[in-house]
Chain A
Amino acid sequence: MSKDSTKKIMLNGIWYDNPVFRQVIGICSSLAVTNLMLNSLIMGLSLIFTTAFSELTVSIIRKFTPKHIRMIVQVLIISIYVIIVDIFLKAYYPEMSKALGPYVGLIITNCILMGRCEGFAQNNPPVKAFIDGIASGLGYTMILLMVSFIRELFGFGTLFGVKVLGSWWTNWTIMVMPPSAFFILGTIVWWGRSKTEKSEKEVKEVKEVKEGRKALS
């Protein structure tokens, strides 16, 4: 596998094909943990771990899995990794495990996992699938951190629990409440889509020009 394609997969996962604002999947669990940046970071890391390893596993056994039961096999693989994450958090970060509550378990039903396993890992070699898992996870974590940055900064005046805004700052209660997450994510989706749409158009134009040249020559 060339370096070029690794870079392409990474870029696709993080930007051009970002799970949250391009494919609009995985939003379920992405908002509930965004009130504090630390929660979002842990959630993001757990998701990167689960996506990468379940894609790797799905890809390794893809040739031996019968087609009609592949969904249930994928779900099983995903839930095994989620259980590992859950037990790990319980053992080493009990407070974090409590704060995230059921949302760690809900990673199983996060559509990013099923989507990438079904759409990518099923037809690609293990190394590529692993990289794709990391990239999709990173794209998702990026959005989580953006939302939680705004929510924590305005809602509590802190970042990662450290006070950044002085005592003059009045906390915006709305930022702690659920509706703000929808507004912020909506705005990020808007921003992300208008940016990527443009770059997609440029790519298309370049392609057209190239094809045109080919046709001429």
Chain B
Amino acid sequence: MMDINPTTIFLAAIFTNNMIFSYFLGMCSFISVSNEIPTSLGLGQAVTFVTTATAIINYIIYKYVLLPLHLEYLRFVVFIITIAAFVQLIEMVVERYFPSLYYSLGIFLPLITVNCIVFAVSLFMVIRNYTFLQSVAYAAGSGLGWTLAIVAMAGAKQRIKNNKLPKGLEGPGITLIITGLMALAFVGFSGIVQIQ
């Protein structure tokens, strides 16, 4: 794992190992919030930022606190607390100092704590023994890959907004089918770069 170039990891996290299309993570908000392109873009940015920042914090905590003390099994609790605390903190700081940013991104912040990919990136990073730079690249790539997916989905949904669908297929049903089609397209990227 040590010898992979961070750039490779970054690209792989966006295209071949996309969080949604190959790991099925971050689906909840992907399905419910992907109705308009601007909103999706805002959420995507917020997720990318939080994922990268918490990955950095978690990496430091894991490497310098949990590993020396042999408390690896506590990583679930520690990681999730870090994420929740970080999101809370960011929300307060942004509300206090950047009101305009708060109105555009603030509403998404609470949603992010329960977004699976933030937590998943921290877990994958530990399981795959990434170095610091690799972790940062992986986190940023995963966030961007997720943004790409949700914006694409919002675009597709806007197109079919006025189409008639069978009753039960409306909403989540059709979203899942479209996601499947997109995932098929993303399968085409596999083989360009590959990470495990």
Contact = CB atoms under 8 A, between A and B. Distances in A.
B60 to A, nearest CB: 19
Interface residues on A, range: 35 or more
Given A82-B76, A102-B127, A194-B166, A179 B27 contact: no
A72 B173 contact: no
B30 to A, nearest CB: 9
A122 B23 CA distance: 32
Interface of B: 21-28, 31-32, 73-77, 80-81, 84, 113-116, 118-120, 123-124, 127, 166-169, 171-177, 179-181, 183-184, 187
Contacts of B120: 102, 106, 109
Q: Is the interface of B mostly helix, strand, loop or mixed?
A: helix
B114 A114 contact: yes
Interface stretch (A148-156, A164-172, A180-188): A180-188
14 contacts: A28-B27, A30-B24, A32-B24, A71-B113, A83-B74, A109-B118, A110-B116, A178-B187, A179-B181, A179-B183, A182-B176, A187-B173, A194-B166, A197-B167
Contacts, number: 132
Contact of A185 (B84, B167, B176, B184): B176
Nearest to B185: A179
A186 B119 contact: no
B34 to A, nearest CB: 12
B177 A87 contact: no
Contacts of B75: 105
A83 B77 contact: yes
A24 B31 contact: yes
Nearest to B23: A32
A79 B76 contact: yes
Contacts of A114: 114
B21 A178 contact: yes
Given A71-B84, A186-B180, A28 B26 contact: yes
Given A28-B24, A106-B25, A190-B169, A111 B114 contact: yes
B127 A101 contact: yes
Q: By CB atoms of chain B within 10 A, which of A29, A110, A191 has the most?
A: A29
A121 interface: no
Q: Give the one of A27, A80, A86, A187 with max B CB within 10 A.
A: A27
